[in-house]
Copies of this chain bind each other. A is one copy, B any other.
Amino acid sequence: MAFNLSGYLRGRTELVDAALDRWLPGEELLPSALHRAMRYSVFAGGKRLRPVLVLASGEAVGAAVERLLPAACAMEMIHTYSLIHDDLPAMDDDDFRRGRPTNHKVFGEANAILAGDALLTEAFRLLADPAANRGCDPAAVLRVIETIARCAGSQGMVGGQVVDMESEGKPVDFATLQYIHTRKTGALFLASIQAGAWLGGGSETQVAALTRYGETAGLAFQIADDILDIVGDQTALGKDVGSDQARGKVTYPALLGLSEARRHAEELRDLALAAIEPLGAGAEPLRAIARYIVDRTS
């Protein structure tokens, strides 16, 4: 029987949404405006890809979902903070995201900067929260915190954003494109996979297999995103088609051509599937996700 990915995604997304709502400070707490701004962007209709990756990776090594939820929610908070800051006037200057006004359009620039700062900080608080981590090995939790911070920091996601901005409107070679993509999107993708594997108590061999999956599927995801920016359906996508091109951003299709970019994404998907072949039935969600990433239209 084929694995029911949409059922899996729905179930896991509901768990993540409920946990985010439980752990994010409520609007009744001071300062309300700040907590409202944080929640506005966290609950703005994101696909929860990174949290689902944490859960699917941990489940692939046999872990219970409960102990994976803090890291899953932390990844979504970090992802959301990065979107809020990327959208700022000084950065990409976007007025809309997923069809809704961006954080700074609603709450003002200062509050948007601070809401991003607070989400990033709250992610690490939650990762280290003793109540949320009951029963977890403290050394494994520290390893997860270090990995997530490394992947999100100056040589990971933030570094990718800096080089992406520096490259706008300039001729960019393949090495630079790969630098940007492995960091801007790939780093959090990989961190999610590794966090799940470690918190789930995976063996060294299992963690290595999942790491390979995270590296290849993460890059495939970004290439597919680039392709969608050209051929995608604007309504399904929730942003302007061709917006990367319009702002002179370098993309895989622009550099390799559309069909070669597609071939590359499919090759990476197959490498990802091969990497986790030994993990058996528990890795079925990760397999379905790798296929979906490359075949999706939005």
Contact = CB atoms under 8 A, between A and B. Distances in A.
Contacts of A81: 117
Contacts of A125: 145-146, 149-150, 153
- How many copies of this chain sit in the oligomeric assembly? 2
A246 interface: no
A260 interface: no
B155 A25 contact: yes
A239 interface: no
Contacts of A73: none
A141 B113 CA distance: 28
Interface string A102-139: 00000011110110111011101101111001000011
Given A25-B154, A120-B117, A154-B34, A165 B110 contact: yes
A114 B158 contact: yes
B118 A158 contact: yes
B161 A145 contact: no
Contact of A88 (B113, B130, B149): B113
A138 B179 CA distance: 33
Interface of A: 25, 29-31, 33-35, 38, 81, 85, 88, 90-91, 108-111, 113-114, 116-118, 120-122, 124-125, 127-130, 133, 138-139, 141-143, 145-146, 149-150, 152-155, 158-159, 161-163, 165-166, 179
